Amino acid sequence: MSQPLAATPHPPVTVVIGGTIAIDHVKTPDAEAAGLLGGSAAYAALAASFFCRSVGLVGIIGRDFPQEHLDMLENHGISLAGVERSDNESFTWSGEYHANMNERTTRHVGLNVLENWQVKVPAAAASATIVVLANMSPDNQLEMLAQCGIELIEPIGPIGPIGPIVDAESPPRFVIADTMDLWIEIANERLQEVLPHLDLFVLNEGEARALAGTSNLVRAGRILLEKGPRHVVIKLGEFGAMLFSSSSVIHDPRSSIQNDRGSQIEDRGSRIEDSSALPSSILNPQSSISSSLPSTIHDPQSPISSALQSSILNPQSSISSALQSSIASASEPAPGFFRCSAWPLESVADPTGAGDTFLGAMAGYLAVQGPPPYTASVLRQAVIQGSILASFTCEAFSTRRLESLEVTEFSHRLQQFRHATLW
């Protein structure tokens, strides 16, 4: 038997996130901690709340779930109206990371309250603009979709459905989902039923290869798009992420790095107001071309330098025309594909939940950009914001780093990332 928590009143929910809420026990080569907050939805909700203060959490906990974790989530503005408390024990996970922190061994999983859990989305959250199906069984994901009133259209052509639809008079919706290797292995058919409902499907590289049936990630991204989602993100861990989009993606030719509103964190009502500390080369697109060109230009002994200098001095040359053309077109995103690197960390304390943080951060960031559909530029910015926030998760056990993270810290790292990747 379970019942909803007596939750503190919150504003209408813009982002609703359903999935697991767990008690984790994590061991690394350097430390060990128990009684930690875990679970896909818990990480994702906390990450989304960094950008958006109207986040609702849907899940189930047991009688033994620590009250301190619930208090922390509510203190970050997360509505717990969709969280049930059961008389049984909470979902638990225990794992150990090895010297290579990309490798871990699961020591114990206690499903407990999840064994017979049926999703219950509160009425106040069912109409949320952004619906996040964090890692949970495909059956639970389909339950949540149904309770949010999202319907699937019939397949069209070789690419299958173009995404979820609702009543024409209803506000636009955006559905994001994650999965894991377990569901690919034991519930593949049900997972295939989920995919056509999605605007954005997020999974790691191993899962992408398994689900697409190919070792080539570029081919995997295209194959996954054919299964229905309008966008697919393949997470590459410490190496970043890849975004694939279908041909129906909105492309705004006026967007560029310096004027894309996605380059700023514009939170209407959240604790983030503006953290877009951009380097001058981005703020001033008219800055000297030489600052963007290779160092060979400034080396008078280089034959390449001589050719480039000549081409700049002679605007009629073919090399000059090619350079100017490439610079002019750099502000317009190429359709269909985007690759983002990850922030390099010298040390990793606990990578648990980094992928869920990435998922939730994307949802929270998109929520404050206004209603969908979203342009390619905005989606690319969401990938970057998610990657940067996920890097902080790895710096401490569980959600501890996210709990204490300041806007200025995030803004500073985002600025450093821009400097490191500007070319």
pLDDT in tens, 384-394: 999 999 999 99
d(CA 145, CA 151): 8
Q: State pTM to two decimals.
A: 0.80
Tokens representing 330 are 């750099």
What is the overall mean pLDDT for the chain?
82
Q: Using the 8-state DSSP alphabet, how is residue 187 labeled?
A: S
> For position 5, what pLDDT does the model report?
73
Alpha carbons 245 and 236: distance in angstroms, whole number: 17
Contact 174, 145 (CB under 8 A): no
DSSP string covering 13-49:
PSEEEES--EEEEEE-SS-EEEEEEE-HHHHHHHHHH
- Tell me the pairing of strands 130-133 and 32-38: unpaired
State how far the Cα of 197 lies from the Cα of 166, in Å rounded to an integer.
11
Contact 60, 117 (CB under 8 A): yes
Q: What is the pLDDT of residue 249?
A: 60
> According to the model, what pLDDT value does residue 275 have?
35
pLDDT at 314: 55
- Does 251 score more than 80 pLDDT? no
Burial class (CB in 10 A: 0-12, 13-18, 19+), 111: middle
Residue 252 pLDDT grade (very low, low, confident, very high; cuts 50, 70, 90):
low
Ordered domains of the chain (ranges, CATH) = 2-252+337-421 (3.40.1190.20), 286-329 (no CATH)
- Give the pLDDT band of residue 169 (cuts 50, 70, 90): low
What pLDDT, on the 0 to 100 scale, is given for residue 242? Answer: 98
Dihedral angle sign, alpha carbons of residues 299, 300, 303, 304? positive
In whole angstroms, what is the distance from residue 359 CA to residue 180 CA? 13
pLDDT tens digits for range 273-315: 333 433 333 233 333 333 333 443 344 444 444 444 454 445 4
Residue 225 has pLDDT above 50, yes or no: yes
pLDDT exceeding 90 applies to what percent of the chain?
68
Sign, CA torsion 263/294/338/181: negative
Reported as a single tens digit per residue, the pLDDT across 176-188 is: 999 999 999 999 9
For residue range 336-345, list pLDDT tens digits in order.
899 999 999 9
Strand partners, 377: none
Does residue 415 have a pLDDT over 60?
yes
pLDDT in the model for residue 266: 37
Instruction: Give per-residue pLDDT as tens, 13-54.
Output: 899 999 999 999 999 999 999 999 999 999 999 999 999 989
What does the pLDDT look like over 87-103, one tens digit per residue?
A: 999 999 999 999 989 88
Q: Which residues pair with 86 in a beta bridge?
A: 2
